[in-house]
Structure 1
Amino acid sequence: MPRRTFFSYHYVPDVWRAWNVRNSWVVRDTEEISRGFFDSSVFEASKKESDDALKKFLRNGLENTSVTCILAGTDTWNRRWVRYEIARSIIKGNGLLTVYIHGVQNAAKQTSVKGADPLAQMGLYKTERGIFLAEWKGGKWIPYSDYTLAIPEKDLRFAAPKSTSVVQLSKHYMSYDFTSQNGRKDIGGWIETAAGLVGR
């Protein structure tokens, strides 16, 4: 059964790179195509949309997916809506992985600078009220503001944090480099690994 995967990325600078990565399964050998993934990506919505409408749009994009693949360029790590997609993926129980795409050429045949891992910029911490999301912002960890409810420990697909110290999400998920690690051939396997790590 092909894996339904949601692709999260910084639209303006990386859409060309993301398009190439998302469609890389097309060039696989015939026997590998059945293990490819369906693209359930959504783009950043119009700036005319309200925050609530955009959040609903992104939640709808995540429906019926089992893995979220963050295609990380230079500034993906600090994009608000990428962080929201990550947060909703945690809540939903999707597998997660980061794939660095800075080495993929854009339409002008240019590569870019490697950015931070978006999964290292978000984390979880525990209080007496439950488990909450945190984000790295302004040089420090702060409570995540776009989802402020506690996450039930039973809904997590990995060991829950034990204290108020933030545990980065990157501690629980894998990251890969599309260019240097032969992503065109292997991204399907990376996605399957991400799904397996959360039992999806």
Structure 2
Amino acid sequence: MAKRVFFSFHYQDVIDFRANVVRNHWVSKPDRASAGFFDASIWESAKKTGDIALKRLINGAIKNTSNTCVLIGSDTFNRKWVSYEIMKSMQVGNHIFGVHINGIKGKDGKTKTKGSNPLYFLGYSFSDDGTKINLHDYINGKWIKYPDLDGYSVNKVDEKYRNKIYRLSEDYPVYDWNGDDGYKNFSKWTK
């Protein structure tokens, strides 16, 4: 059965056509179900509204999805709204995975070196009493409280897991569209 996937990406990668290769690869499959997903992402052009309206738009787009695919280009790690989409996806319990797309030829016919993994720059910790997840952003070599979304309650975790920040890159897989044959394997990456 096809999953509903929210795609998180930097709009420059849409302009360069790299993001579109992944998001539209189902077109050459027999049907959308055989591609393994339905696209539930929103376009960056809609991101010209205010922060509150934009958060509502993102929250609505993530709702009723089970997967969030972060398309990793050159500057994806540095995009505020990509970070928010990842953190919100984590909060709602989506399966999150990244896909490096700089190996895909852009509209200029060239590839780029891999971009930094945005999941490396985002993290979480458990509260002192182990009943809440706190969210963190890695800025200029330091962990800070994530500014755009509050933490949330979880089932109490053992004391040994508290007072440590875990990078999302430790918990969520990252693939390479070309190197890991995304055209063939994308449906296996979703849950």
Q: Does the alignment reach a TM-score above 0.5?
A: yes
2:136 counterpart (124, 134, 137): 134
CA contact under 8 A between 1:17 and 1:106: conserved in structure 2?
A: yes
Letter in 2 for 1:153: V
Return closer, same or farther for 1:46/1:65 CA change in 2, 3 Å cut-off: closer
Return closer, same or farther for 1:116/1:17 CA change in 2, 3 Å cut-off: same
The structural deviation recorded for 1:154 is: 3.3
Provide the aligned length of Structure 1 versus Structure 2: 188
The whole-number CA distance in structure 2 between the counterparts of 1:11 and 1:100 is 15
2:154 aligned partner: 153
The whole-number CA distance in structure 2 between the counterparts of 1:6 and 1:135 is 21
CA contact under 8 A between 2:13 and 2:19: conserved in structure 1?
A: no
Return closer, same or farther for 1:161/1:121 CA change in 2, 3 Å cut-off: farther
The whole-number CA distance in structure 1 between the counterparts of 2:3 and 2:156 is 21
Give me the identity figure in percent.
38
1:51 aligned partner: 51
Letter in 2 for 1:181: D
2:62 aligned partner: 62
The two structures, once aligned, show a CA RMSD in angstroms of 2.4
Letter in 2 for 1:80: K
Other structure's SS at 1:170 match: helix
Q: Under a length normalisation based on structure 2, what TM-score does the superposition of the two structures give?
A: 0.89
Other structure's SS at 1:34 match: helix
Other structure's SS at 2:12 match: helix
1:24 aligned partner: 25
Of 46-55 and 178-187, more deviation after overlay is shown by 46-55
Return closer, same or farther for 1:183/1:161 CA change in 2, 3 Å cut-off: farther
The structural deviation recorded for 1:34 is: 3.2
The structural deviation recorded for 1:112 is: 1.9
What whole-Å deviation, never above 9, does each CA across 1:142-169 have from its counterpart, x for those lacking one?
A: 1100012x3212399xx99822221011
The whole-number CA distance in structure 1 between the counterparts of 2:68 and 2:159 is 20
1:11 aligned partner: 11
What whole-Å deviation, never above 9, does each CA across 1:4-30 have from its counterpart, x for those lacking one?
A: 0000000124441111111112323x4
2:167 aligned partner: 168
The structural deviation recorded for 1:48 is: 4.1
Return closer, same or farther for 1:160/1:153 CA change in 2, 3 Å cut-off: farther
5+ residue gaps in structure 2? none
Of 176-185 and 18-27, more deviation after overlay is shown by 18-27
The whole-number CA distance in structure 1 between the counterparts of 2:47 and 2:66 is 28
Letter in 1 for 2:71: L
Return closer, same or farther for 1:137/1:25 CA change in 2, 3 Å cut-off: same
Q: Under a length normalisation based on structure 1, what TM-score does the superposition of the two structures give?
A: 0.85
5+ residue gaps in structure 1? 196-200
